A and B are shown apart, each in its own frame.
Chain A
């Protein structure tokens, strides 16, 4: 029975009942392909998770998933997809310390703004300052801004305000420092009480509602709100350059991964070429004994694809496991404050991009199948006399 014979031949090629050298060789190839697949999966997981982490920072701390640009008091429909609604005021201002100054984005928020979801995206570096007896309003600076202004908790800074077409400074006290983990966002974002914004900037501040919505529900919520006649924007529109860069980066990295997968697929065909080259005598002998080319091609195709699929399973599992354990390594790197990593987000939740991984693996399997089939054409050209000339 030819299928049983094919299984016997595949088993021997894969090292079952075979010599230790043959086993080592197959294991080496499995290891090599697994390492490449693990690296591809890990890299994609890292990039997608980091992109999503950055997007989350912008959505949760910067602008909310959706913004409703309506006057304070405008009723927001009570939809189950809306997780949180906050009235926010924001403006840009110069912030002075005794030695430096900086243009900042000042957000006035209610105390309830820092809910558990937002608190998950930042770390307070100190306990809140007790300012009983002080009439100065408190502001919340990022660690990055504090460092640039050379100030710390309890220090005084001055906000330059435009009031009745004139400029005047407002002294504030640094109530606490936060760190979102993403320097790009932290570089200019500071928080204060909504009431302070209202008092200091009144009509100069832009007042709007920030909405947090459940995962992947933003488009639906937006269309409902717009049907209600509300003016709505998304965080991507508010941060167009950031959002489009993240998407472009993700696609570019996926493209690079696909190219690497194609090269890896080509390498796999080299494995089949190598096996055939080594087995010329065996193939010639099988042909001499009456075996057709299709049986031999089937044996070598199955052998190489079994090696490939085993490697893919091992590599994917390793890449995902490595990725899921990335958190502790990232925390370690973040704690080290390595300058080269300053502009990278090192504090994000790892997610497995199954679709991206499936695309990469599909390309790898497709390219390796085609290139292996292509390389197996040479089976036809192996002369039967190779065996008789062996001596």
Chain B
């Protein structure tokens, strides 16, 4: 980590999707976006559907490249890194939570959480111990041996949160993490997410439609007309 504790920095990032083979105009999504995220802070990106929120998250995480500008993660330009280096950064320093929990279907909850730790090179036993501890902290100690299809939507999302945190990342990218949950489960996940982010001192980039959920972040931005506007 750099001395300024700046985890993520976007400078003049622009993105457009090219015209399709069938014709049509290129679609401009983002235009000269500047954004910073510091350790143990949280930012929320809100905006209408199709405004480019998810695209911004994907560019920030190095999952998608930008046409212009640069993305610095922990002081390193993501666009200059090889696939292997990016994989390593995703493994050690980033956690992801999506609207769909995206678990490995034929793995148990415990195994799903242990997998990223094993990818990072941690032995099976310590990886399982870490996974067990995290699953206990999200209230799933009685669901360790259950597979994805034996868990409810809220439980799957809690497994996804535990999995995102297992490698003690510097930053958590959450794209509509409560989007597919009912109100009660959504509230539970929101509380759990902010509690763990505070406890683990992790930076959070949250993409959401939900204004009250967004307002719990330290900073709130809105994507409008391809630009980022500061809400708070």
Given A2-B121, A4-B123, A288-B96, verify A390-B111 contact (CB < 8 Å). no
Given A8-B111, A385-B58, A391-B100, verify A2-B119 contact (CB < 8 Å). yes
Can you list 7 A-B pairs, Cβ within 8 angstroms, ordered by A? Answer: A1-B121, A1-B127, A2-B121, A8-B118, A289-B119, A388-B63, A390-B100
Give A390's nearest chain B residue, CB to CB. Answer: B100
A-B contact count (CB 8 A): 81
Q: Does A255 contact B (CB under 8 A)?
A: no
Given A385-B64, A388-B54, A391-B100, verify A292-B84 contact (CB < 8 Å). yes
Contact with B along A1-34 (1 / 0, CB 8 A): 1101100100010000111001000000000000
For chain B, residues 40 to 98, give those with C-beta under 8 angstroms from any C-beta of chain A: 54, 58, 63-64, 83-84, 87-92, 94, 96, 98
| A1 and B63 contact, CB distance less than 8 A | no
Given A388-B54, A388-B175, verify A290-B116 contact (CB < 8 Å). yes
Closest 9 CB pairs of A and B: A290-B91, A5-B118, A290-B90, A289-B116, A4-B124, A391-B100, A12-B106, A1-B123, A292-B87
Give B163's nearest chain A residue, CB to CB. Answer: A289
| B102 and A290 contact, CB distance less than 8 A | no
B88's partner among A5, A288, A290, A391 (CB-CB below 8 A) is A290
- For A391, the chain B residues whose CB sits under 8 A away are 98-100, 180
- For B115, the chain A residues whose CB sits under 8 A away are 5, 286, 289
Q: How far is the CB of B160 from chain A (nearest CB, A)?
A: 11
Contact with A along B106-140 (1 / 0, CB 8 A): 11000100011011111110010000000000000
For chain A, residues 368 to 391, give those with C-beta under 8 angstroms from any C-beta of chain B: 380, 384-385, 387-388, 390-391
| A390 and B120 contact, CB distance less than 8 A | no
Docked complex Cα distance between A285 and B106 (Å)? 13
- For B163, the chain A residues whose CB sits under 8 A away are 289
Q: How far is the CB of B97 from chain A (nearest CB, A)?
A: 11
Q: How far is the CB of B212 from chain A (nearest CB, A)?
A: 23
Q: Does A309 contact B (CB under 8 A)?
A: no
- For A385, the chain B residues whose CB sits under 8 A away are 58, 63-64
Q: Does B104 contact A (CB under 8 A)?
A: yes
Most buried by A among B58, B87, B116, B163: B87
Docked complex Cα distance between A384 and B104 (Å)? 15
| B119 and A384 contact, CB distance less than 8 A | no
Docked complex Cα distance between A290 and B99 (Å)? 19
Give A1's nearest chain B residue, CB to CB. Answer: B123
Give B84's nearest chain A residue, CB to CB. Answer: A292
For chain A, residues 285 to 301, give those with C-beta under 8 angstroms from any C-beta of chain B: 285-293, 295
| A388 and B98 contact, CB distance less than 8 A | yes
Q: Does A71 contact B (CB under 8 A)?
A: no
Q: Does A282 contact B (CB under 8 A)?
A: yes
Docked complex Cα distance between A191 and B97 (Å)? 91
- For B84, the chain A residues whose CB sits under 8 A away are 292
- For B167, the chain A residues whose CB sits under 8 A away are 290
For chain B, residues 139 to 167, give those with C-beta under 8 angstroms from any C-beta of chain A: 163, 167
